[in-house]
Amino acid sequence: MNALDLARWQFGITTVYHFLFVPLTIGTSFLVAIMQTAWFRTGDERWLRATKFFGKLLLINFAMGVVTGIVQEFQFGMAWSDYSRFVGDIFGAPLAVEGLASFFLESTFLGLWIFGWDRLSRGLHLTTIWLASIGTMLSAYFILAANSFMQHPVGYAYNPVTGRAELQDFGRVLFQNTTVTTFFHTITSCFLVSGTMVLGVSLWLMMRGKSVDVMRKTLSVGIISVLIAGIGVVFTGDAQAKIMVQQQPMKMAAAEGLFNTSAPAPFSLFKLGSIDGSAEYFSIDIPGLLSFMATGDWNGEVKGINDLQAEYTAKFGPGNYAPYVPLVFWAFRAMIGLGLIAVLFALFVWWRTRKGKVPSNKWLGWAAVTCVLFPLGGISAGWIFTEMGRQPWIVFGLMKTADGVSPTLSTGTALISLVTLTVLYGVLAIIEIGLLVRAVKIGPPETVELLPVDDDADNGRTLTFSY
Amino acid sequence: MSLEMLQNIWIGLIAVLWIGYFVLEGFDFGVGVLLPVVAKNEAERRTVLTTLGPVWDGNEVWLLVAGGATFAAFPEWYATLFSGFYLALLLILVALIVRGVAFEFRSKRGDVGWRRRWDIAITVASFVPALLWGVAFANIVRGVPLQLDANNNSQFVGNFFDLLNPYALIGGLTTLALFVTHGAVFLALKTEGDIRVRANKVAGQTGLVAAVLAVVFGLWTQLAYSNNPISWLPLALAVVAWVATLGMNRLGREGWAFVTSAVTMGMVVLFLFTCLYPNVMPSTLDPAATLTIHNASSTEYTLRLMTWVAVVFTPIVLVYQAWTYWVFRKRLSPSQIPNPHEGALDLPHEVHV
């Protein structure tokens, strides 16, 4: 492996890892804000216990999201300096805005929320969790605008003198349809993840007879979140697919392993074939489905890899313009399949717990604690699909990934950093999972004693939260 | 506004972001390094860490925004600097990662060994960046081996060990000593009892070490590397503010000691930036490869756009961050930590809201 391969592995590993914590933070901060609002409005202590409990899980998770996020911002410059030079005029702007408008907001107000239970009035304290939640979503918007530029560059001009892409219209970068649909697809999938987590944890504790009164309420929050998010993911994904066919037809062709342009084009649930598409050994097809996903018409034409390859060779010069098809093909199916399992599981749990029933099957207990892995796996597969499906480009049609890597990066340095970060991340994952399991096993506080909020209280008063 | 004016505004804004970072995360680092020195038992350790609790994450965002702003406003600088200082930045990243999770995870379990390990992590991971930021800035001011490549881009052609020259190491020790003292001053302001007494004493001692280092580093920088005589001014102000810090600390005027200490941190950053101006990363090999605010910047469009963003958001951020410090203005004492030996996750009953 050379420095380029190592840098790509590092980016892949650190980004997928970071994005295990991000969706949980985005979705859970919102759901916790909902729970706290319910307590604020009804005064029902069960909602307060739910807020405290899921708040703990949120914080364990948030810490990991924050620290792994710093790596993301730094490694563009560290490992991808030629990319950074080329697009810095455009790509840096949403990143800087993200920091100024969202990172400050989420970190400052989450700090206030964690430590401010006895320092802020109830309404003000509730506001802090909402602001933190809004901060996480704003952050997602800006970084997805930057990513969407890589998928579909707009609002720029190439300057031959400086040899770089320069920003012409920031509004187009921020509000192009790629950005908007990607944002909603990502946010809905975050709620799929968090909803499943809340649902699974609630079900598991209910089955163990712990805080059943609280967990029944949060179980509903989880189920509703998954079902609404599930519908949202499907519609936004559909919109995204149609845009993708226009903007990156090669990605869609690779998603199906469609080598020859077809009308109608089928969608395979399963396929075994040779990598270059010359032979197909076995497949289960749904006729016309790919045409429908791509064009909205069951007989619509979908371009195949071979035609696109010829088209791109004519346009960009000789080279291989197809991504690695088996990976893209299976990542696409994993994304859809794992997401679907989460939705079906939520429906099943709703059925088994309706009218106050508490199921007791052993396997369901296991399913409850592990079910969050399905949508998390789905969301990772989605990112692997969209990023690997864009290859060989780092910015579609403008710059190839191989040209973006830092020319000064040696194989040794790349290897040291890949190994260091991977080992560190692995160790932290074990620690984090251990803590989450511990927190879940203990469950919500059985009682929460209320003291009046008094900003001018004596210094000696016991803290509600301390490190 | 002309392009040149915008470039000047942006180097100013980036200096402001680094000032914010040194002032705020500077004391976080100091507190982390001093944890084993000022806290002698579990309740004290938790008190010390809780002084940072509500603010450390927001403080660290200043670094993220400084990085993002450099990317947006001076992409050539961002690209050359970050790829050139790869291993140094990797070390800083590892430290910041470990430190952040250490804060959050430490008190979750009551296990003595668990806490002991996170304590070591906090101290080491605060020490490393406190030292390395000084090393990094000293190297930038001193100049690093940059050469133009075939595409006319400035590329760092040195290696990690080039960064560890005597001048830069003194720079590193200077920021380390300054941050440690700044942290001690902060702790003296934010705590009650034994911790306050110890922190006050430590600040007096490390403050003198920092003073000696800072004078050596400051004069060396000014005489050998400054592009502008005006940089004497922030240097002089830094010295005056530091003398005031030591005096106020001695008098037990903790609020004023913290203010003057913060002014010192700010003046140190301003000093380094005025020494550099208009360069942002001078080359020791080829003057043509030197990055300046002019040849490293974004376009006029991007800079103007980002100026508006900064004008709108920076005051808002300053207001709510300042408000956070107001909300958590009270001193903390170890008696306020409930069940200091229990793991936070192991308590089935939440007391009070």
Q: Which of residues 8-37 of B touch A (CB under 8 A)?
A: none
Interface check A236 vs B, CB under 8 A = no
Q: Is the Cβ pair A463, B58 closer than 8 Å?
A: no
Q: Is the Cβ pair A435, B86 closer than 8 Å?
A: no
Q: Which of residues 63-82 of A touch B (CB under 8 A)?
A: 63-64, 66-71, 73-74, 76-79, 81-82
State the smallest CA–CA distance between residue B271 and chain A in angstroms. Answer: 24
Nearest chain A residue (CA) to B330: A459
Q: Is the Cβ pair A73, B57 closer than 8 Å?
A: no
Which residue is it, tokens 């012409």? A168
- Residue A461, pLDDT above cutoff 80: no
Q: Which of residues 88-107 of A touch B (CB under 8 A)?
A: 88-93, 95-101, 103-105, 107
Q: Average pLDDT, stretch A135-160?
A: 95
Which residue is it, tokens 């991007």? B302
Q: How many CB atoms lie within 10 A of CB B196?
A: 20
pLDDT at A286 (0 to 100): 85
Residue A39 makes CB contacts below 8 A (sequence gap 6+) with A45, A47, A48, A50, A51
Q: Is the Cβ pair A67, B97 closer than 8 Å?
A: yes
Which of B105, B133, B155, B297 is the mutation pick for testing A, counting most A CBs within 10 A? B105
Nearest chain A residue (CA) to B109: A435
Residues of chain B positioned with their CB less than 8 A from the CB of A406? 79, 83, 86
- In chain B, what percentage of residues exceed pLDDT 70? 98
Q: Average pLDDT, stretch A111-115?
A: 93
pLDDT, one tens digit per residue, over A195-245 is: 999 999 999 999 998 899 999 999 999 999 999 999 999 999 999 999 999
Give residue A322's Cα distance to chain centre: 25
Helices and strands counted in chain B (H then E): 11, 4
A-B contacts (CB, under 8 Å): 307
Residue A389 makes CB contacts below 8 A (sequence gap 6+) with A248, A250, A251, A254, A255, A323, A328, A331, A332
Q: Is the Cβ pair A466, B338 closer than 8 Å?
A: yes
pLDDT at A256 (0 to 100): 86
Q: Is the Cβ pair B61, A413 closer than 8 Å?
A: no
A100 in Cβ contact with B313 (< 8 Å): yes
Sign of CA dihedral A38, A40, A41, A44: positive
pLDDT, one tens digit per residue, over A256-312 is: 888 888 888 888 888 777 767 667 777 788 888 888 888 888 888 888 999 999 999
Radius of gyration of chain A (CA): 24
Q: Is the Cβ pair A111, B58 closer than 8 Å?
A: yes
Interface check B333 vs A, CB under 8 A = yes
CA separation for the pair A264, A83 (Å, rounded): 39
Q: Is the Cβ pair A459, B79 closer than 8 Å?
A: no
Residues of chain B positioned with their CB less than 8 A from the CB of A109? 320
Closest CA to A291 of A335, A326, A256: A256
Q: Is the Cβ pair A462, B72 closer than 8 Å?
A: no
Q: Which of residues 280-319 of B touch A (CB under 8 A)?
A: 298-299, 301-302, 305-306, 309-310, 313-314, 317
State the smallest CA–CA distance between residue B154 and chain A in angstroms. Answer: 11
Q: Is the Cβ pair B353, A450 closer than 8 Å?
A: yes
pLDDT, one tens digit per residue, over B148-191 is: 999 889 999 998 899 999 999 999 999 999 999 999 999 999 99
Q: At what angle do helices A81-97 and B56-73 cross, to 10 degrees?
A: 120
Average pLDDT of chain B is 94
Q: Is the Cβ pair B104, A459 closer than 8 Å?
A: no
- In chain B, what percentage of residues exceed pLDDT 90? 90
- Residue A146, pLDDT above cutoff 80: yes
B7 in Cβ contact with B66 (< 8 Å): no
A96: nearest CB among B69, B90, B320 = B69
Tokens standing for A425?
Answer: 């991340």
Residue burial A18-41, b: 16+ Cβ < 10 Å; e: rest: bbbbbbbbbbbbbbbbbbbebbee
Interface check B124 vs A, CB under 8 A = no
State the smallest CA–CA distance between residue B233 and chain A in angstroms. Answer: 30
Interface check A282 vs B, CB under 8 A = no
Query: What is the residue-level pLDDT of chain B in tens, covering all 353 positions?
Result: 799 999 999 999 999 999 999 999 999 999 999 999 999 999 999 999 999 999 999 999 999 999 999 999 999 999 999 999 999 999 999 999 999 999 999 999 989 999 999 999 999 999 999 999 999 999 999 999 999 999 889 999 998 899 999 999 999 999 999 999 999 999 999 999 999 999 999 999 999 999 999 999 999 999 999 999 999 999 999 999 999 999 999 999 999 999 999 999 999 999 999 999 999 999 999 999 999 999 999 999 999 999 999 999 999 999 999 999 999 998 999 988 888 888 887 765 555 44
Q: Is the Cβ pair B153, A60 closer than 8 Å?
A: no
CA separation for the pair B122, B103 (Å, rounded): 7
Interface check B150 vs A, CB under 8 A = no
Interface check A117 vs B, CB under 8 A = yes
- Residue A458, pLDDT above cutoff 60: no
Q: Is the Cβ pair B101, A64 closer than 8 Å?
A: yes
Which of B97, B132, B312 is the mutation pick for testing A, counting most A CBs within 10 A? B97
- Residue A449, pLDDT above cutoff 80: no
